[in-house]
């Protein structure tokens, strides 16, 4: 074994000690154990104190395990392992472990349980990240000391192996020699120790960390794979915590950038936008006293009796022009919508009249007999502002201008030519993968090629939902290519939707590129759902063309076509709605009745592609579109909804009520 001491670093996790280091007693206790009981094998090279904040714990550990020039062999944390709300050290550490070490955990717990049952209240974790062993000790100096003592003798061997010392060299002489080296015996139950334990693939000699290129600060949550390290060093399990769908939606709500308010012309591009202001009528409707029938304007006498023959003094059509006052005893012919002459107090419908005499040429009416008595003032007249008065709020802030309905007409009627709205984001859609080819490329596919299904699907869906779409093409699985494509896209669009490259393959570059090259933050990288588990949501700070700092959004959806479109509807749409001011955001949810039995996924809630229709009794019924495998493009055919199915071992029976998220219109059952 090596004669140079192993390098240990100590992280004190304590909000109190972070404020006042003098309150910490663990450091003294633990350095004492390393020094007095470590057989001279240890050098405590660094000690840091952080508060009980997950990201700070992770950041400091990763400074030691990922970027330190000389390997830190052992990272010891103390504190934050209990059950209190602030106790998060085990979670922080396990999220960044490359390999867990349950044996070390067992050793620590067994030793301290033999001292006190309260050891049950410590939740230690241990494992390997890069070349370092990490262990989490409790915060109490006594507990920390006992735990460390329990495993101290085996740690040198573990550390050397983690650092990449050849296993054959390490194990020459067998386990007895190892135990002798460590100064421990395997005791009475001398378990046969045939070294079946896996040593992983990373047994090259140490090459240090010089080759690691970091473009972002270590604090930027560097949990994704470093593509430079190659397949043997990638995380073998996603380091991202698995969020529930609700938690993922909450994250999206929280991290979707604020809406921007712009001035929009009232024209055909306005429908779909949401008003960012109350809009008032600029003018009265109608703007003048107008007739609502074809007939004769009259001045109603006191007794209301208009029976008799009257000369037709003037004629008014619905066209702008001069009007001259009307006197009692005269009438004026008037058409629907025409302005009334001043003095007129009512309009008699043409049906209530008889033509009496004509002009000599026979072309005009001269006299007309009116057959009405009991006429009241104001009959058949629309007064100024009787529909809408100047200054009244006609549409309120937050209301969406629909494409089917009257809002746009309302704005037009009252002379509003532009309004303040929430700007709709421009969306770029990118496919990734070396195997993906343009969907309409002529000729047969070569082995391994796949036609790009997702880009055209997502662009169509986003456009149908009312958003401007930019085609970002297909990016190859090369770190540089992807980075360049994304950088360029960030200049052109507000939201980027990518598909592919978020699984756990070594060519799955999305997360590392977003985090390491673009300085983005990944808010989640895994969701407990089917399909769509690797759905990833990130934001990236950028400067816009005006040099202002803005945040852009990247949704990286799984490559499988069904997963991509399901997660678009489920996660991307609510974010697009939110930033556009559309509320409630996301698909409309309605209760439906299952038309047949549905098998469930045993562990994950499933979004089952289905056809919802109106049954004969008026109730909504849902039938599956068939096979739901995430690669099945056909599972979306005809689907107008996603059924929110719980996880479960037994099928859900026909007739059960579930929620359906509506992607499209509902038809009557055929
Ligand atoms: P990935 O997430 O890149 O591992 O992709 C998962 C699966 O989806 C693979 O079988 C890919 O070939 C497939 N896939 C990825 N992108 C697309 C796409 N744009 N169109 C069709 N299939 C795709
Ligand atoms: Mg791929």
Q: Check whether 385 has a pLDDT greater than 70.
A: yes
Q: Per-residue pLDDT averaged across 295-299, rounded?
A: 97
Residue nearest atom 10 in ligand 1 by C-alpha distance: 560
β-bridge partners, 642:
609, 661
- Residue 501 CA to ligand 1 center (angstroms) comes to 8
Please write the tens of the pLDDT for every residue from 151-173: 999 899 898 888 887 656 665 65
Lowest mean pLDDT among 14-18, 183-187, 584-588: 183-187
Mutual angle of helices 141-152 and 102-113, in 10-degree steps: 120
383 vs 304: CA distance, rounded Å: 20
Find the ligand nearest to 448 CA. Answer: 1
For 6-191, CATH gives 3.40.980.10
Between strands 495-499 and 549-557, the pairing is parallel
* Closest listed ligand to the CA of 433: 2
Could you say which ligand is closest to the alpha carbon of residue 477? Answer: 2
- Where along the chain do its domains lie? 6-191, 261-284+389-422, 290-382, 427-580, 588-668
pLDDT given for residue 221 in this prediction: 44
- Whose CA is closest to atom 16 on ligand 1? 559
pLDDT for res 184: 58
Q: Do 181 and 174 touch, CB atoms closer than 8 A?
A: no
Paired with 309 in beta bridges are 369
pLDDT value of residue 172:
61
Q: How many CB atoms lie within 10 A of CB 448?
A: 7
Distance separating alpha carbons of residues 76 and 61, to the nearest angstrom: 9
Report how far residue 330's alpha carbon sits from residue 296's, in angstroms, rounded to the nearest whole number: 10
Confidence label for 558 from pLDDT (cuts 50, 70 and 90): very high
Query: pTM to 2 decimals?
Result: 0.67
How many angstroms is it from 432 CA to the middle of ligand 1?
8
CATH T-level fold of 290-382: Molybdopterin biosynthesis moeA protein; domain 3 (2.170.190)
* Ligand 1 in reach of 503 Cβ (< 6 A): yes
Query: Which residues lie near ion ligand 2 (Cβ < 5 Å)?
Result: 433, 500-501
Which of 81-90, 303-312, 538-547 is predicted with the least confidence, judged by mean pLDDT? 81-90
Q: Do the domains spanning 6-191 and 427-580 agree at the CATH topology level?
A: yes
For residue 541, report the phi and psi dihedrals to the nearest 5 degrees: -80, 130
Sign of CA dihedral 501, 506, 509, 511: positive
Per-residue confidence (pLDDT) for residue 630, from 0 to 100: 80
Q: Is the preceding omega at residue 557 within 30 degrees of 0, hence cis?
A: no
* Whether residue 454 has its Cβ less than 6 Å from ligand 1: yes
Q: Which atom of ligand 1 is nearest to the CA of 432?
A: 16
**What is the predicted pLDDT for the residue at 142?**
86
Predicted confidence at residue 166, as pLDDT, reads: 64
Instruction: Determine the Cα–Cα distance for residues 537 and 252; give it in Å rounded to an integer.
Output: 8
Q: Return the CATH architecture of domain 261-284+389-422.
A: Alpha-Beta Complex (3.90)
What does the alpha-carbon distance between residue 379 and residue 390 come to, in Å, rounded to a whole number?
Answer: 23
CA dist 24 and 14 (Å) reads: 8
- Pocket flag, ligand 1, residue 531 (CB < 6 Å): no
pLDDT digits (tens, 9 = 90+) for 64-109: 998 887 889 999 999 999 888 889 999 999 888 999 999 999 988 8
More confident residue, 427 or 510: 427
The ligand whose atoms approach the alpha carbon of 450 most closely is 1
Helices (H), 115-154: 141-152
Q: Is 556 in the pocket of ligand 1 (CB under 6 A)?
A: no
502 lines ligand 1 (CB under 6 A): yes
Percent of the chain with pLDDT over 90: 67
Residue with CA nearest ligand 1 atom 23: 559
- From 225, 434, 435, 450, the mutation candidate for ligand 1 (largest count of ligand atoms within 8 A of CB) is 450
Q: Which atom of ligand 1 is nearest to the CA of 474?
A: 19
446-470 pLDDT tens trace: 999 999 999 999 999 999 999 999 9
DSSP 637: T
**Number of neighbouring beta carbons within 10 Å of residue 208:** 11
For residue 432, report the distance from its CA to the centre of ligand 2, in Å: 6
Atom of ligand 1 nearest to the CA of 563: 8
In this structure, CATH architecture of domain 588-668: Beta Barrel (2.40)
**Ligand 1 neighbour 71 (Cβ under 6 A):** no
What proportion of the chain, given as a percentage, has pLDDT over 70?
89
- Band (pLDDT 50/70/90 cuts) for residue 182 is low
Ligand nearest to the CA of 474: 1
CATH of domain 427-580: 3.40.980.10
pLDDT per position as a tens digit, 627-648: 888 877 778 888 999 999 999 9
Residues 6+ apart with CB under 8 A from 630: 530, 531, 532, 558, 560, 562, 563
In the chain the first and final C-alpha atoms are separated, in Å, by 79
Query: Is the CB of residue 80 below 6 angstroms from any atom belonging to ligand 1?
Result: no
CB distance 560 to ligand 1 below 6 Å: yes
Cβ of residue 477 lying under 6 Å from some atom of ligand 1: no
pLDDT above 70 (res 175)? no
| Distance between Cα 651 and ligand 2 center (Å) | 33
What pLDDT sits at residue 633?
A: 77
Predicted local distance difference test score (pLDDT) of residue 225: 72
What percent of the residues of the chain are helix, what percent strand, and what percent coil, each to the nearest 5?
25, 25, 50
456 lines ligand 1 (CB under 6 A): no
């Amino acid at each position: 074994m090596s004669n140079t001491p192993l390098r240990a670093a100590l992280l004190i996790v304590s909000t109190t000690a972070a404020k006042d280091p003098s309150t910490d007693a663990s450091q003294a206790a633990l350095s004492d154990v390393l020094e007095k009981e470590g057989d001279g094998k240890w050098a405590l090279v660094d000690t840091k104190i952080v508060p009980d904040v997950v990201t700070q714990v992770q950041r400091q550990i990763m400074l030691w395990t990922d970027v330190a020039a000389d390997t830190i062999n052992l990272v010891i944390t103390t504190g934050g392992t209990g059950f209190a709300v602030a106790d998060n050290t085990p979670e922080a550490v396990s999220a960044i472990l490359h390999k867990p070490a349950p044996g070390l955990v067992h050793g620590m717990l067994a030793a301290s349980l033999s001292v006190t049952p309260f050891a049950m209240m410590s939740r230690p974790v241990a494992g390997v990240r890069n070349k370092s062993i990490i262990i989490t000790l409790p915060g109490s100096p006594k507990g920390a000391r006992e735990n460390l003592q329990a495993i101290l003798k085996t740690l040198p061997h573990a550390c050397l192996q983690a650092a990449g010392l050849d296993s054959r060299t390490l194990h020459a002489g067998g386990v007895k020699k190892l135990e002798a080296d460590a100064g421990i015996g395997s005791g009475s139950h001398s378990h046969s120790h045939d070294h079946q334990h896996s040593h992983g693939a990373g047994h090259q000699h140490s090459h240090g960390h010089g080759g690691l290129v970091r473009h972002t600060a270590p604090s930027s949550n560097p949990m994704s794979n470093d593509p430079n390290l190659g397949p043997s060093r990638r995380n073998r399990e996603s380091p991202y915590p698995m969020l529930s769908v609700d938690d993922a939606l909450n994250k999206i709500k929280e991290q979707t950038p604020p809406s921007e308010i712009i001035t929009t012309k009232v024209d055909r591009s306005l429908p779909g936008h949401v008003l960012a202001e109350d809009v008032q009528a600029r003018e009265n409707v109608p703007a003048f006293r107008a007739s609502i029938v074809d007939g004769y304007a009259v001045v109603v006498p006191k007794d209301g009796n208009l029976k008799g023959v009257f000369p037709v003094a003037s004629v008014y059509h619905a066209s702008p022009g001069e009007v001259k006052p009307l006197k009692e005893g005269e009438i004026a012919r008037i058409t629907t919508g025409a302005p009334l002459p001043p003095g007129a107090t009512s309009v008699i419908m043409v049906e209530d009249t008889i033509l009496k005499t004509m002009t000599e040429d026979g072309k005009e009416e001269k006299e007309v007999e009116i057959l009405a008595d009991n006429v009241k003032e104001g009959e058949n007249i629309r007064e100024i502002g009787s529909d809408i008065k100047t200054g009244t709020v006609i549409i309120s802030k937050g209301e969406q201008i629909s494409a089917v309905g009257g809002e746009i007409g309302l704005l037009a009627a009252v002379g509003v030519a532009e309004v303040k709205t929430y700007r709709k984001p421009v969306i770029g859609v990118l496919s990734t993968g070396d195997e993906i080819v343009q969907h309409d490329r002529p000729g047969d596919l070569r082995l391994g090629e796949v036609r790009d299904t997702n880009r055209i699907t997502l662009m169509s869906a986003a456009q149908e939902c009312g958003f401007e779409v930019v085609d970002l093409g297909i990016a190859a699985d090369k770190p540089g290519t992807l980075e360049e494509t994304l950088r360029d896209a960030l200049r052109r669009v507000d939201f980027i939707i990518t598909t592919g490259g978020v699984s756990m393959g070594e060519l799955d570059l999305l997360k590392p590129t977003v985090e390491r090259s673009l300085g983005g933050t990944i808010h989640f990288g895994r969701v407990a759902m089917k399909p769509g588990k690797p759905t990833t949501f990130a934001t990236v700070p950028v400067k816009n063309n005006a040099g202002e700092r803005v945040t852009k959004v990247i949704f990286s959806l799984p490559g499988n076509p069904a997963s991509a479109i399901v997660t678009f509807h489920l996660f991307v749409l609510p974010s697009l709605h939110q930033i556009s001011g559309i509320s409630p955001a996301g698909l409309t949810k309605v209760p439906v009745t299952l038309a047949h039995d549905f098998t469930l996924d045993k562990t994950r809630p499933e979004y089952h592609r289905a056809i919802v229709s109106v049954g004969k009794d008026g109730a909504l019924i849902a039938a599956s579109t068939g096979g739901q495998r995430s690669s099945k493009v056909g599972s979306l055919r005809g689907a107008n909804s996603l059924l929110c199915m719980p996880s479960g071992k037994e099928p859900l029976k026909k007739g059960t009520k579930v929620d359906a998220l509506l992607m499209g219109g509902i038809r009557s059952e055929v």
